[in-house]
């Protein structure tokens, strides 16, 4: 049984052996409750707001997170921090531990990269989001980051979810490439069950039968459904969904139009020379007007309907 | 070989036997041209604008098409025409021939339904769009409709595409449930090759692995890609993508944000009692504010970036 | 209501207004009956056997159907008929009307091709199977073919299904690229509802997220499910599932192992020079040993378990 | 660069700066080599055979692995070990650490379960295969198991792959639910790059658009492709692909017919009461005749073609 706000949630009712006195104390029985009780809006109807050093994420806010796929060296991340800040970002992203398909690809700078990232963020007054891929990396990254990111490939790495749930910091959980909405909310529940409800849900595109022009299909319906079923902030990642720089803008705009409360965008000074994700990163010059348009759409959608 | 605007497009160059004089006459060779030469932007960079009695579809315009899944009787379609017109629609939709999964489901009113639909449209000064499922139905429907719709299940019914291409009226071609972008543009080419370039491309959601909460996944990236590769107007159909009324609004907004130049929405006075698609139709009261928001997003996106 | 073997099957029971006398006459109520009543095993538990001039298809039989993707000329089809017969085929396939993705690809020889095909089959004592793509082609093809094939792209071309259902000959219905099992059985029901139960169900691979090495994924579980839910013969088409000649053999063997009662294989004298499907056709020399192995597996599976 | 059997494999040739002397020493340049050099057949054409205490896995062998989804208590696993052995299994499976979708589901007995499993295996002279979900569990499980299993959800948990690669025991790597063949072979390369080539590749079904009757689609074409591209043994897991006990047999037979060199089947004394995977486990009485049929198909396929 799980205790949620003075409600005792019990699955598998057939297994129960309640005394008559216990049964008399039950006010009502909720039968339509999904298994992810902590993440569900049933007992928690209001939006979760995540408070970090520099941001309030969720609710009516729209949070812009941006930065390079990988932290490549100190100069680039220091320079990019200033540029994404100027464009409207309040969180900087950057990978130090990279989940690469091949073991022979660039695997990230590790703790050195984290140090560069933190310094660049502090100079600009930005929060940091960075990915951890294993339990050991949580302790290494904790001093440097404000938000832990769990990547799509690790969405159902349940031991990692439990460990990051115990780490006491906000977690951005990316949807697996072929994860259902229910599987994603159950994965979030692994984090929540450790007492950590500071969770963001990131839609970053799902696998489909056609990857000729778009690497993945951004599931905008999934964004709307997550907003409805759960109280956690929902973030759109148009960069990984598209796989191509010229599709990032339409996907970002579609994501916010569907209800996303933030976006996570890859930005690089010279994408063609990037050590990873060369095809899909935006230049700062492409990024700045996108932030403007996305914020305008978001503002428009907050206005009451007449 | 296909002649496009004074360019001779030749596939299968290896099969060619050109005389030296012919070869000398070739100004340049275009190698990156896709097979759908008539639909491609390579030779036709400007947007196609489709002119109907009451609409200019494409370019900077945003066209609202709405109406019931099926024309059920004369009273309902007459009443609905007034209501969707009041909400901002300029084209009325309504099915007279219905592609139903089971042969035992309601198959539509046929020509009687078309007559009701045309009368309702004329009363309100609206264009009509309606689906044809077979070659015979083209001649029957032609006097009643302004736009022929080819449904998702018939996207690669090539004989139907050829026949509707010869009929001399605009055609709205829906993307098949598992059709790639290239397959869709090649299907459109079957229509175009008959001399009819008045084609709209309709994104209506594709099959994915998760249909618990959304019937299909609206491919907003596909909308952006179609806008880039082709000059035809691109329309979003949020009703069939969602399968649930409460998801129609976020999908419609996402579609326009991704670049759609029109939307096709199912509206019914009393969706729960509809003879088909009961779950996903909007009431007129839900539809009116949606039109407003979608038009605001569209207007915002036409403004120049600063 | 549908009358099946003296059982009146009624959907939508809520709409019923039966007199007390009618209600008293109801022996039992079957609630788990799917909508495809004619194709279901519930009222028709025994396998359907389709009798043609040269074959009994279904039940414990295993039927080998083979031939080129397209009938290209008379010499090739006459020669191939002898070769596939020698290898064990009893039905010859060959396309005269070709559903090609692009309108600029070879579209087939039409009636001329059908004449060549019939003559070649008659010389060898083979049945003919060939695809029809439109209602008009049914009347043209009827004198030349023993079995009508409905292609994957037309699985839900409902008017074509109705027309072929009336034509009075066996029909091989191919599964659509993203059709569910239920959609396929409902499509078969459109044929059956015209009084024609001589239907074969063809599994030919479905779309997936990975087409690097296999064009489609052969759904062997689907073969087993169709055998269980329906009484129609189930045929495997390994050629279209694989898209590559070297995968045809393992897919054919997997299909028969999963329960297929026949196979439909593309064979060509010189695949590299074929006018369509060059990559996936087998040579007669590759085809002959495959027939042997597949028949051995089929025989093995008919033996009683000890 | 990677050294494989005296060949230096170098990616990213553009980055090279070789001295003239080094260049003179290069015998030939292989350009079609995939990135997974250690797993590829290009330099390693012969099948890998994995030698364990009781088995030779790979090559012409067919290895039967069976047991319950979860080790539930000592009596059940002791009894099952005898039963699966009698039916022909030479490896016993059983989960002690369970990757469950919800955190509130049974998570396995942990080390206690491993102890029961080892004892049962030793009594019968069987090898043990069991899943590890995190780096810590590798050291715990090592004394009890002969083969580490990496589950589908962890196929791209790269730190776990590196750690299990260092552990010095055979590894069975399951294909992710939406992993491409290339991604799977690159994941195996993470293990191989640690010096461990004792790898089995397990096909266990992939996600598709239709899960009404089969939980996943068994990719039999994928089995054939893995056999062709790689030298590792390929194992079919029909239990997780089907999700339903009555589909396990046809999928197992299809898998071996497509080229699988072993199968991994869930067996339970009383599936309906199992603590996990109740729907898909076979009883020993269902399992025994399946082993017989599968072995007959395998034997048949080893015979030379005439």
User: How far, in Å, CA of A147 to CA of A294, rounded?
Assistant: 23
The predicted model gives C152-161 an average pLDDT of 97
The three-state DSSP-derived secondary structure of chain D is CEEECCEEECCCHHHCCCCHHHHHCCCCCCCCCCCCCCCECCCCCCCCCEECCCCEECCCCCEEEEECCECCCHHHHHHHHHHHHHHCCCEEECECCCCCCCCCCCCCCCHHHHHHHHHHHHHHCCEEEEECCCHHHHHHHCCCCCEEEECHHHCCCHHHHHHHHHCCCCEEEECCCCCCHHHHHHHHHHHHCCCCCCEEEEECCECCCCCCCCCCECEHHHHHHHHHHECCCEEECHHHHHCCHHHHHHHHHHHHHHCCCEEEEEECCCHHHCCCCCCCCECHHHHHHHHHHHHHHHHHHHCCCC
- Interface with chain D: mutation pick from A34, A103, A150, highest number of D CBs within 10 Å: A103
The mean pLDDT of B118-137, rounded to a whole number, is 97
Taking each helix axis from N to C terminus, what angle separates D74-87 and D111-124, rounded to the nearest 10 degrees?
A: 40
Residue B42: pLDDT over 70: yes
Judged by DSSP in three states, D173 sits in strand
- Interface touch C211/A207, C-beta < 8 Å: no
Contact C209 D181 (CB under 8 A): no
Q: Are strands A234-236 and A199-203 parallel, antiparallel or unpaired?
A: parallel
Task: Give the model's pLDDT for residue B92.
Answer: 98
Query: What average pLDDT does range A249-273 have in this prediction?
Result: 97
- Does residue C27 belong to any structural domain of this protein? no
| pLDDT value of residue A15 | 40
- Tell me, rounded to whole angstroms, the distance of Cα C125 from its chain centroid: 20
CB spacing of C99 vs B158 below 8 angstroms: yes
* pLDDT at C1 > cutoff 80: no
The reply to whether A69 falls in a domain is: yes
Interchain CB contacts (distance < 8 Å): A and C: 9
Choose the weakest-confidence range: B123-132, C37-46, D65-74: C37-46
Please identify which residue in the block is written with the tokens 């990032």: A248
Of A2, A158, A160, nearest to D104 by CB-CB distance is: A2
> Are D224 and C251 a contacting pair at CB < 8 A?
yes
CA distance A230 to A47: 8
Q: How confident is the model at residue B6 (pLDDT cuts 50, 70, 90)?
A: low
**pLDDT classification of A296: cutoffs 50, 70, 90:** very high
Q: Report the pLDDT averaged over residues A258-262.
A: 98
For residues B62-67, average pLDDT? 98
Q: Lowest mean pLDDT of B4-13, B263-272, D108-117, name the range.
A: B4-13
CB-based contact A289 B296, cutoff 8 Å: no
- Best C176, C177, C209, C243 residue to mutate vs chain A (most A CBs within 10 Å): C209
Task: Report chain A residues whose CB lies below 8 A from the CB of D36.
Answer: 102
* Secondary structure (3-state) at A159: helix
Report, as an integer, the average pLDDT of A115-124. Answer: 98
Buried b (16+ CB within 10 A) or exposed e, A6-37: ebebeeeeeeeeeeeeeeeeeeeeeeebbbbb
Identify the residue among D208, D209, D219 best suited for mutation to test binding to B, counting B beta carbons within 10 A and taking the highest: D209
pLDDT-derived band at C24 (thresholds 50, 70, 90) equals low
CB contact under 8 A, D99 and A177: no
Q: For residue range C55-114, list pLDDT tens digits in order.
A: 999 999 999 999 999 999 999 999 999 999 999 999 999 999 999 999 998 899 999 999
Minimal Cβ distance to C181: which of D210, D224, D256: D210
Q: How many domains does chain A have?
A: 1
Beta strands C50-51; C56-57: pairing state: antiparallel
3-state secondary structure at position C159:
helix
> What percentage of chain A has pLDDT greater than the value 90?
83
Instruction: Give the count of Cβ contacts less than 8 A between chain A and B.
Output: 135
Tell me the average pLDDT of chain D: 91
Enumerate chain C positions whose Cβ falls within 8 A of a Cβ in A: 178, 207-209, 211
Which chains have at least 3 CB atom pairs separated by less than 8 Å from chain A? B, C, D
Model confidence at A253: pLDDT above 50: yes
Query: Is the residue at B43 inside a domain?
Result: no
Contact D133 A157 (CB under 8 A): yes
Which 8-state DSSP code applies to residue D196? -
pLDDT at D29 exceeding the cut of 70: no
Residue A33 token pair: 């409750």
Is residue C37 included in any domain, yes or no? no
pLDDT band at A272 (very low <50, low <70, confident <90, very high): very high
Q: pLDDT at position C153, please?
A: 96
D151 min Cα distance to partner chain A (Å): 10
Q: Residue A226: inside a domain, yes or no?
A: yes
Interface test with D, best of C203, C208, C221, C301 (most D CBs within 10 A): C221
- The answer to whether residue A35 scores a pLDDT higher than 90 is no
Q: What is the pLDDT of residue A14?
A: 41
* Predicted local confidence at residue A13, as pLDDT: 45
Q: Are D164 and D200 in contact (CB under 8 A)?
A: no
Establish if C25 belongs to a structural domain: no
- Closest alpha carbon within chain D to C255: D254
Structure tokens at A257: 């139009």
D221 by DSSP, 3-state: which?
helix
- The per-residue pLDDT for range C264-281, each reduced to its tens digit, is 999 999 999 999 888 899
And the tokens for B67?
A: 């109406």
SS3 of residue D8 by DSSP: strand
Report the gap between the CA of A304 and the closest CA in chain D (Å).
38
CATH number at residue B257: 3.20.20.70
Pick from A296, A2, A50: nearest CA to A196: A50
- Cβ contacts of C208 on chain A, cutoff 8 Å: 209
Question: What distance lies between CA D214 and its chain's CA centroid?
Answer: 21
Instruction: Look up residue A18 and give its DSSP letter.
Output: -
* Per-residue pLDDT at D12: 47
- Residue D295: give the domain boundaries: 50-302
CB contact under 8 A, D103 and A153: no
Residue B278 pLDDT class (50, 70, 90 cuts): confident
Query: Closest by alpha carbon to D181, among D134, D111, D229, D236?
Result: D229
Interface test mutation site (partner D, options C258, C297, C305, max chain D beta carbons within 10 A): C258
Question: pLDDT digit string (tens) for D113-160?
Answer: 999 999 999 999 999 999 999 999 999 999 999 999 999 999 999 999
The minimum CA-CA distance between A139 and chain B, rounded to whole Å, is 35
Residue B12 pLDDT greater than 50, yes or no: no
Which of B157, B177, B193 comes nearest C178 by C-beta? B177
In a domain, A17, yes or no: no
Does the residue D34 lie in any domain?
Answer: no
Tell me how close the Cα of D295 comes to any Cα of chain A, in angstroms: 34
Check B210 against A181: CB less than 8 A apart. yes
Which residues from C are below 8 Å from A206, CB to CB? Answer: none
* Contact present, D44 and D193 (Cβ < 8 Å): no
């Amino acid at each position: 049984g799980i205790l949620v706000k003075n409600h005792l949630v019990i699955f598998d009712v057939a297994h129960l052996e309640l005394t008559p006195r216990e049964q008399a104390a039950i006010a009502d029985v909720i039968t339509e409750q999904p298994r992810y009780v902590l993440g569900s809006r049933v007992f928690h109807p209001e939006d979760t707001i995540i408070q970090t050093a520099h941001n309030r994420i969720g609710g009516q806010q729209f949070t812009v997170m941006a930065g390079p796929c990988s932290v490549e060296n100190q100069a680039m991340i220091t320079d990019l921090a200033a540029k994404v800040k100027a464009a409207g970002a309040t969180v900087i992203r950057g990978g130090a531990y990279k989940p690469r398909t091949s073991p022979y690809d660039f695997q990230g700078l590790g703790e050195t990269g984290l140090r560069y990232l933190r310094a660049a963020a502090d100079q600009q007054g930005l929060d940091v989001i960075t990915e951890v891929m294993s339990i050991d990396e949580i302790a290494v990254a904790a001093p440097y980051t404000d938000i832990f990111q769990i990547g799509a490939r690790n969405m159902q790495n349940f031991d990692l979810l439990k460990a990051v749930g115990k780490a006491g910091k906000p977690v951005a959980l990316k949807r697996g490439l072929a994860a259902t909405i229910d599987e994603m909310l159950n994965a979030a529940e692994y984090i929540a069950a450790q007492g950590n409800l500071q969770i963001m849900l990131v839609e970053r595109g799902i696998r489909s039968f056609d990857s000729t022009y778009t690497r993945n299909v951004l599931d905008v319906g999934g964004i709307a459904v997550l907003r409805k079923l759960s109280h956690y902030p929902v973030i759109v990642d148009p960069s990984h969904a598209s796989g191509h720089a010229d599709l990032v803008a339409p996907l970002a705009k579609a994501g916010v139009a569907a209800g996303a409360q933030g976006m996570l965008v890859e930005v690089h000074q010279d994408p063609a020379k990037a050590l990873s994700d060369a095809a899909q990163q935006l230049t700062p010059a492409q990024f700045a007007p996108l932030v403007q348009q996305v914020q305008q759409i978001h503002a428009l959608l907050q206005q009451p309907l007449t």
